[in-house]
């Protein structure tokens, strides 16, 4: 029997979905989509496109998720109208996975939690952080609304096969270092277009020990380096996460040892300390100990990047028994209802409240400058989100700094950006 030529995990999933034995980087292929998603900003335009194409029925009513998460609970009349478009379309098409607030949360935390996206899947979402699901070994990438409209109609999409770049992380994490720091460090290293159009494959001994939350964070921010997707080979940790959640079969793909990578980069993580991205690009990173005295007006802990239960646990560990600085506001946003509920059961919410923070219902909220904590002119925020573009969280003359949840929590106590050790000493790793 002839053996298949070596391929990366990304190429294997693409070729399996294109019905071909092999695909080559640079090729334009048409693939079958396993799961598609849209939110309250992107889906209304996608639904319009769907109708304009002349389609009557969605390709599969159980393989589409519509998640109103950006401006929800609806922040104004226009936002309410957008949610209504989703709701009515979902009813009319009998879409199974429409999530009303109360059962919802931020799409990229919600879908894996509900077991809707699985290893080996090809996932297309009208949201740039759709790349998050690469953490469970899916090929998952973001598109715009018209593309989503076409996918909902046809179940198919054209894609260019990306070149793969291999990012190897080796060694033991330093105290208070998490997946967020690894990915920020990487983006600082390769730049905001360092992986433009490419598949970023994260591997190495560090990744093998990284919990799912950290893996989601890393794959989530592949787009911040311009990547088409981020991907991590499934292992025991992945399977442990998936097993109780999956309601349909899935497939594990792994890169062949001789697969081709345009680039391989090696990171000795023992040299990586908590990172902070300074305005106005995620690549503008510094070691937290080197940022100097930066006073802040607001801290946000949440988003699809760092709104996971593990993130809240780390934040609570830092905040326990302490009060935040009177010079700032701390907003904490559990990414999903489930996370919120767990955080409550574990007593985290109580810690947050006694520390003086406000808890927002699960929503994207301030991450994209939507609502629930917009910045005024000249204000400065430290956030566990993924983007610090100019004006991202409010006024065009406000500033956003990015960090992991431990740094964010510690800084909320100090009133300025600081290393968690200034507040609590050597802690657990996230």
Partner 1 sequence: MKLEGKVWKFGSDIDTDAIIPARYLNQSDPKQLAKHVMEDERPRFSKRVKRGDVLVADKNFGCGSSREHAPLALKEAGISCIIAKSFARIFYRNGLNIGLPLLESPEASEEIEEGDRVRVDLSKGEIFDLTKKKKFLASPIPPFMQELLRDGGLIPHLRKRKKWFRKK
Give me the residues that bind partner 1 (CB under 8 A), please.
28, 41-42, 44-45, 48-49, 52-57, 59, 70-71, 75-76, 78-79, 81-82, 126-128, 130, 142-147, 149-150, 153-156, 158, 192-193, 196-197, 223, 226, 228, 281, 368-370, 387, 389-392, 396
Residue 385 interacting with ligand SF4 (CB under 6 A):
yes
Nearer to ligand SF4, 28 or 396 (CB): 396
115: nearest Cα among 22, 214, 244: 244
Residue 364 interacting with ligand SF4 (CB under 6 A):
yes
Per DSSP (E only), the strands in 243-363 are 263-268, 275-277, 285-287, 298-301, 329-332, 358-359
**Which of the stretches 13-21, 211-219, 224-232, 362-370 binds ligand SF4 when contact is defined by CB under 6 A?**
362-370
Contact 186, 167 (CB under 8 A): yes
334: nearest Cα among 358, 367, 301: 301
42/146 Cα distance (integer angstroms): 9
Contact 104, 337 (CB under 8 A): yes
Binds ligand SF4 by CB under 6 A, chosen from 101, 192, 196, 368: 368
Residue 303 interacting with ligand SF4 (CB under 6 A):
yes
412/70 Cα distance (integer angstroms): 25
Nearer to ligand SF4, 275 or 385 (CB): 385
Q: Which residues pair with 266 in a beta bridge?
A: 168
Contact 129, 304 (CB under 8 A): yes
Contact 133, 221 (CB under 8 A): no
335/27 Cα distance (integer angstroms): 37
Binds ligand SF4 by CB under 6 A, chosen from 186, 283, 357, 386: 386
Question: Which of ligand SF4, partner 1, none interacts with 192 (beta carbon under 5 to 8 A by kind)?
Answer: partner 1
331: nearest Cα among 295, 294, 371, 304: 371
411/335 Cα distance (integer angstroms): 21
Q: How far is the CB of 392 from partner 1 (least distance, A)?
A: 5
Nearer to partner 1, 214 or 282 (CB): 282
Nearer to ligand SF4, 82 or 386 (CB): 386
**What radius of gyration, in Å, describes the C-alpha atoms of the chain?**
21
412: nearest Cα among 324, 331, 348: 324
Residue 126 interacting with ligand SF4 (CB under 6 A):
no
Q: How far is the CB of 223 from partner 1 (least distance, A)?
A: 8
Q: How far is the CB of 147 from partner 1 (least distance, A)?
A: 6
Contact 225, 277 (CB under 8 A): no
Contact 303, 339 (CB under 8 A): no
Nearer to partner 1, 37 or 138 (CB): 37
Q: How far is the CB of 50 from partner 1 (least distance, A)?
A: 9
Nearer to partner 1, 21 or 390 (CB): 390
Question: Which of partner 1, ligand SF4, none interacts with 106 (beta carbon under 5 to 8 A by kind)?
Answer: ligand SF4
Q: Which residues pair with 210 in a beta bridge?
A: none
Residue 129 interacting with ligand SF4 (CB under 6 A):
yes
The runs of H, that is alpha helices, within 320-391 are 337-345, 348-355
The pair of three-digit structure tokens given for residue 324, joined into one six-digit string:
């935040």
Binds ligand SF4 by CB under 6 A, chosen from 106, 122, 221, 288: 106
**Which of the stretches 14-22, 76-84, 350-358, 363-371 binds ligand SF4 when contact is defined by CB under 6 A?**
363-371
Type and span of the H or E element at 205: helix 205-209
Nearer to ligand SF4, 8 or 306 (CB): 306
171/245 Cα distance (integer angstroms): 30
Residue 127 interacting with ligand SF4 (CB under 6 A):
yes
Nearer to partner 1, 178 or 306 (CB): 306
**Which of the stretches 289-297, 348-356, 364-372, 389-397 binds ligand SF4 when contact is defined by CB under 6 A?**
364-372
Nearer to ligand SF4, 113 or 163 (CB): 113
Please report, as ranges, the residues that interact with ligand SF4 according to CB under 6 A: 70, 106, 108, 127, 129, 303-304, 364, 367-368, 385-386
């Amino acid at each position: 029997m002839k053996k298949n030529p070596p391929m990366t995990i990304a190429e294997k999933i693409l070729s399996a979905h294109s019905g071909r034995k092999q695909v080559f980087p640079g090729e334009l292929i048409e693939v079958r989509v396993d799961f598609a998603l849209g939110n309250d900003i992107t889906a209304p335009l996608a639904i319009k496109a769907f109708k304009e194409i002349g389609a009557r029925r969605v390709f599969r009513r159980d393989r589409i998720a519509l998640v109103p998460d950006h401006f929800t609970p609806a922040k104004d009349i226009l936002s309410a109208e957008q949610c209504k478009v989703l709701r009515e379309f979902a009813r009319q098409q009998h879409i199974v996975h429409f999530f009303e607030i109360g059962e919802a949360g931020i799409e990229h935390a919600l879908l894996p939690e509900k077991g809707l996206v699985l290893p080996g899947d090809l996932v297309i979402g009208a949201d740039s952080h759709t790349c998050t699901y690469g953490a469970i070994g899916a090929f998952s990438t973001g598109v715009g609304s018209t593309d989503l409209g076409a996918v909902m109609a046809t179940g198919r999409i054209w894609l260019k096969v990306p070149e793969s770049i291999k990012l190897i992380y080796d060694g033991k994490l330093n105290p208070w270092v998490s997946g967020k720091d690894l990915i920020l460090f990487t983006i600082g290293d390769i730049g905001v277009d360092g992986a433009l159009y490419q598949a970023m494959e994260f591997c190495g001994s560090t990744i093998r020990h990284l919990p799912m939350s950290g893996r989601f964070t890393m794959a989530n921010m592949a787009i911040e380096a311009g990547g088409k997707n981020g991907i991590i080979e499934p292992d025991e940790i992945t399977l442990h996460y998936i097993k109780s959640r999956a309601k349909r079969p899935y497939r594990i793909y792994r890169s062949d040892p001789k697969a081709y990578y345009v680039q391989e980069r090696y990171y000795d993580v023992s040299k990586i300390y908590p990172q902070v991205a300074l305005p106005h690009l995620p690549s503008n990173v510094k070691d937290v100990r080197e940022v100097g005295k930066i006073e802040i007006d607001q801290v946000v802990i949440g988003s699809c990047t760092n709104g996971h239960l593990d993130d809240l646990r780390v934040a609570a560990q830092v905040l326990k028994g302490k009060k935040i600085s009177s010079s700032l506001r701390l907003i904490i946003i559990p990414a999903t209802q489930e996370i919120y509920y767990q955080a409550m059961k574990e007593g985290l919410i109580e810690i947050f409240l006694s520390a003086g923070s406000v808890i927002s219902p699960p929503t994207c909220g301030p991450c994209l400058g939507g609502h629930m904590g917009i910045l005024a002119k000249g204000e400065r925020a430290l956030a566990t989100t993924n983007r610090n573009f100019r004006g991202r969280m409010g006024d065009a003359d406000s500033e956003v700094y990015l960090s992991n949840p431990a740094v964010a929590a510690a800084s909320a106590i100090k009133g300025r950006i600081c290393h968690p050790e200034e507040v609590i000493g050597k802690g657990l790793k996230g």
